[in-house]
Amino acid sequence: MSYVEVPLARLSLVALLVAVAVAVSFRARLDLERSILWASARGVAQLLAVGYALRLLFAHEHVASLAAALTAMLLVAAWTASRRVEHAPAALFLPALAAIGAGGLIALVPVFALVIVPTPWYSGRYVIPIAGMMLSNAMNVVALTFERIFASARSEAPVIEQLLALGASPEQALHAQVRSALRAAMTPTLNGLLTVGLVALPGMMTGQIVSGIDPGSAVRYQLVVLFQLAAVAATSGWVAATLSRRMLFTARAQLRPDGAPPPGER
């Protein structure tokens, strides 16, 4: 089977596709031209950098370089998930780091120990792309969980406080909010499982098929990844929810005033 390379000259042709997007934005007065150009330029720079970094990483396989790459990915994911969350009662970076890290560990360690066993085990070619998918899914789940729990704790503060007054533990008082946040955060992952192959071939499988791998083998990899994603979503979401609850309540089972509207002086 032959592999079709993309020469740089032809690659530059796809810049025209960006021009299409810019033209549409201009014509429809979306006022997005600058954003499209900036995002495209960033995408080019980030991918070029990643391409070189991966080439370097694969050429000098070493535990330390793999660990450094994974750490950097984890830090960026945690930083992204903890930004722009409204009504957070405390700094979210460390909780995000813990939640994403926990999901990543649960999904990655058993799989690379027992299912996809590369030699050496720290082979970046396998670990980096799969870890990237896991951390990115964890990042989205954690951001969504934080966002929804803090927003609903604020809007439903009277209900939560009424439950506390009736003798609920913080866990009981926040149960409905945690449940709906986790369900919402897991929905995209579950939809992915339900529609896989029907709407789109997932990225991993697409990549393997394009590079000439037998579809049967590609399917096996994709199944591993999909099940990993489900575990990541559940674990990271659950850890994020548990940490959110700790942030929302005092040690004496009171809803923190800065997580709720000011004391209602009516």
263 binds another protein (CB under 8 A): yes
172 binds another protein (CB under 8 A): yes
Residue 19 host element (H or E): helix 15-27
Under a CB-based contact definition with an 8 Å cutoff, are residues 247 and 98 in contact?
A: no
Which of 169, 180, 191, 217 is the binder for another protein (CB under 8 A)? 169
Which of 90, 161, 213, 226 is the binder for another protein (CB under 8 A)? 161
Which residue, 216 or 264, is less far from another protein as judged by CB? 264
* Least Cβ distance, residue 90 to another protein (angstroms): 16
Under a CB-based contact definition with an 8 Å cutoff, are residues 152 and 177 in contact?
A: yes
Is residue 50 helix, strand or coil? helix
Question: Cβ of 249: how many Cβ atoms within 10 Å?
Answer: 22
Which of 131, 134, 163, 232 is the binder for another protein (CB under 8 A)? 163
Candidate segments 18-26, 68-76, 105-113, 258-266, binder of another protein by CB under 8 A = 258-266
Which of 1, 9, 166, 198 is the binder for another protein (CB under 8 A)? 166
Residue 248 CA: distances (Å) to CA of 79, 106, 160, 226? 20, 26, 11, 33
- Torsion, Cα 22 28 34 35, to 10 degrees, reads -90
Interface with another protein by CB under 8 A: which residues?
158-159, 161-169, 172, 176, 250, 252-255, 257, 262-266
